Chain A
Amino acid sequence: MKYLPLLWAGLWRKPIRTVLTLLSIVVAFLLFGLLQGVLSGFDGALSKMSDTRLRVMNRANILEALPIAYEAQIARVPGVTEVTHATILVAYYQEPKNGFSAAALGFDTAADVFPEMNVPADQFEALRRTRTGALVGIELAKRFNWHIGDHVTVHSMNWVKQDGSSDWPVDIVGFVNAGPDDDRVFANEMYIRYDYLDEARATGKGTVHQYMVAIDDAEHSTAISAAIDRLFANSGNETTTMNEKEYVVAQFRQVGNIRMFVYSIISAVLFTLLFLAGNTMAQSVHDRVSEIGVLKTLGFSDTMVWQLVVIEAAVLCLLASSLGLAIAALVFPRVFGALGLGPLPLSPRVYLAGFGIALAVAVISASIPALRAKRLAIVDALTAR
């Protein structure tokens, strides 16, 4: 500890150089925080997905239909506690660029299967009374400035009414995920009643896109999935059943290998950073050769000189990474919100990884200059100039 002033003086020997190096490391960790934050945000969302809920889809494709009659058959499978269903509306409001996802639900059972939708009882009761009622996610409501009692018309790209129109007027009766502590998983969706959709649509009557199945025990999810798929094997509409985690992973996988993409960028950033920090340290040792000679003359051991150089690098990197991660923490919720997944604080794991990398960068980048400082003979050092 008593060497702290010495370290500090060494660090600020060339203030411009130190500040510039510091800033470039800050930038690198800002980027690291944001990118890694996105990945752990996805992971976090994934870990909250239920594994006691299954999704049953048409084996051919998620947008192919399944007969409504499957509901009763699925409900009889042992281990199944509740079944509800959803029919996807690929929808937009007013203009095609205002796209959002909507679904028609078997509304009397949906609240039991998805308690985390957190719809207040009176609003749910209003949906029961209103055939054209709609529950909207709180973020979606904010986006279009919708309030309870509003009468809005949504355009469905995939469902046409018998009169040839694709416009579906609905009455907003409640909000989804409006609670302050809700994980806003459903906050960007709209839900309408299945009976409203089914009666008015021109095609596909009596079918749904997906069954959502609550089961008694996560341990049984594989067995129950297999049992459901066996029920409909060799029928006109074979099914694929998976738990919610697998379902979300499968959806993301279709977009592409996002993880690989982000890691490639992070490695490019960190490699550049390592090179930069290493260079600064090398230069700083190079400039100080005669000073190091003096330190050794005064009785500093070789190891101590080595430590001083490495610690100096560590202080620089940790200071810079704290700053970078702090800025990342400030802007991250907005960046993640812009991806349509709701604001989310930066995960603690990102800070841990960030500081770990900062230390590694410091040690790796300082090790060669530090070795040089350690091996320096006093006579050579003092006559260097």
Chain B
Amino acid sequence: MNAIRQILTITAINLRSIPQRLGTSLVICVGIAGVVGVLTTVLAMATGLKSTLTNAAREDRAIVLRSGSLAEALSAVSRDDLVAIEAAPGIRRTVEGEQSISPEVLVSVNLPRKGDGSLNALPVRGLTPAAAEVRPEITLVRGRMFADGVYELIVGRSAHEQFANLDIGDVVTFHSGDWSVVGIFSSDGDVHESEAMTDATTLMSAAHRTVFSAVTVTLDSPAAFDGFRDALKSDPKLNVDPQRETDYYAGQSKQIAALLEIVARTVGGIMAIGALFGALNTMYSAVSTRTVEIATLRAIGFGSVPVVVSVLAEAQLLALIGAIAGGGIAWLLFNGNAFSTGGALGQVALKLHVGASLIGTGIVWAAAIGLLGGLFPAIRAARVPVAQALRAV
């Protein structure tokens, strides 16, 4: 009990003296705010990417690509393949008895972005009427659906924000055709909002395609996937690779997300080392300006453990303030910010998401820096030779 009271007393004295040492104390806060700010922002890009891609995935949906194709846009599934896939077990049927199976063709076209007008790839997805059954999350927010057999597009919300001339009524030219934008759609904030959609037959003939890119099916249940996959895999005429949508989209985000995480941890880690030196500096000077005070406390009977703990507590508090400041700045500046990345196959628009778990990660890092930065000065404080320190007055 006594030890706890001592700790509280000394810590209170320390904290009350912070205003007199504001500049040096701020070093810890600013240093850690920098680390946490950078760390959370870059990690927020990675989580934004993952959530955009995994939002698109449903447990009870499967996507069938050609074997060895890592991306939908590089895959090819022929009409013969489609017939064989339709014969596989486990595909859900509607009340009317129609199979819930959507063969789709994906074609990337270069269009100018808003702003600088640089050309970026927009994925255009060709759909058959069955798509409405397989992808119920696609809903029009404005305008109307494209009609079959004519050059009409509906455009995802993100694509509409990113690209120039994709408003309802605009006409864009690609593959020797003038395509009219007739609607804007949403899709639960997932990756498909970065696409445009149109009628599959029209798109295939315009882009000289004879095969579909991939086939997406809704299964009777998530458990039906194994039977579905085994049936396709055991068909010697088929050379396709069925995957659960969740696995496919997790794989799509893996590379860039991993790269961003490496960048965040490397840059954040190096900055953390710098901030650690700053924290050590602050706490050493805090201890050194209070040498007499600490010696006095020790002389009147305070133990060395309370002294150590009080120094650590001060470092932790400053680190926590820094972490909250850094995370808060990242949240204020970047939460919900859109950015886009991609390549020749298409752009994905993402929103940075600075969530509680990321701020939690930042606080853990800050606590570690605070602990290390406070520990050595705390030990020095505890070892102050009482008589010598008091004589120095």
Contacts and interface: CB of A to CB of B under 8 A. Distances in A.
Interface of A: 16-17, 20-21, 23-25, 27-28, 30-31, 35, 59-65, 90, 92, 96, 99, 155, 157-158, 160, 164-166, 203, 236, 238, 240, 250-251, 253-257, 264-265, 268-269, 271-273, 275-276, 279-280, 282-283
Given A60-B110, A63-B108, A283-B285, 13 more contacts: A17-B284, A20-B277, A21-B277, A61-B107, A157-B68, A160-B66, A203-B211, A253-B120, A272-B33, A272-B278, A276-B278, A283-B23, A283-B24
Interface residues of B, number: 58
Interface in B30-83: 30-31, 33-34, 37-38, 41-42, 66-71, 73-76
Given A62-B344, A253-B118, A254-B343, A269 B277 contact: no
Interface of B: 23-24, 26-27, 30-31, 33-34, 37-38, 41-42, 66-71, 73-76, 107-110, 118-121, 174-176, 207-208, 210-211, 239, 267, 270-271, 273-275, 277-278, 280-281, 284-285, 339-345, 347
Contacts of B208: 65, 236
A96 to B, nearest CB: 6
B153 to A, nearest CB: 14
A157 B108 CA distance: 16
Given A17-B284, A256-B341, A166 B34 contact: no
A90 B121 CA distance: 17
Contacts of B341: 254-256
Nearest to B69: A157
B118 A250 contact: yes
A59 B110 contact: yes
Contact of A23 (B34, B75, B277, B285): B277
A282 B23 contact: yes
B76 A28 contact: no
B21 to A, nearest CB: 9
Kindly name the residue among A59, A253, A254, A264 whose own CB sees the greatest number of chain B CB atoms within 10 A.
A254
Contacts of B345: 63
A62 to B, nearest CB: 4
Main secondary structure, interface of B, reads: mixed
Contacts of A203: 76, 210-211
A259 to B, nearest CB: 13
A276 B342 contact: no
Nearest to A237: B176
Contacts of A59: 110, 174
A373 to B, nearest CB: 16
17 contacts: A20-B281, A27-B271, A27-B277, A59-B174, A60-B175, A157-B75, A165-B239, A166-B67, A255-B341, A256-B341, A257-B339, A265-B42, A269-B38, A275-B31, A279-B23, A280-B281, A283-B285
B110 A61 contact: yes
B109 A272 contact: no
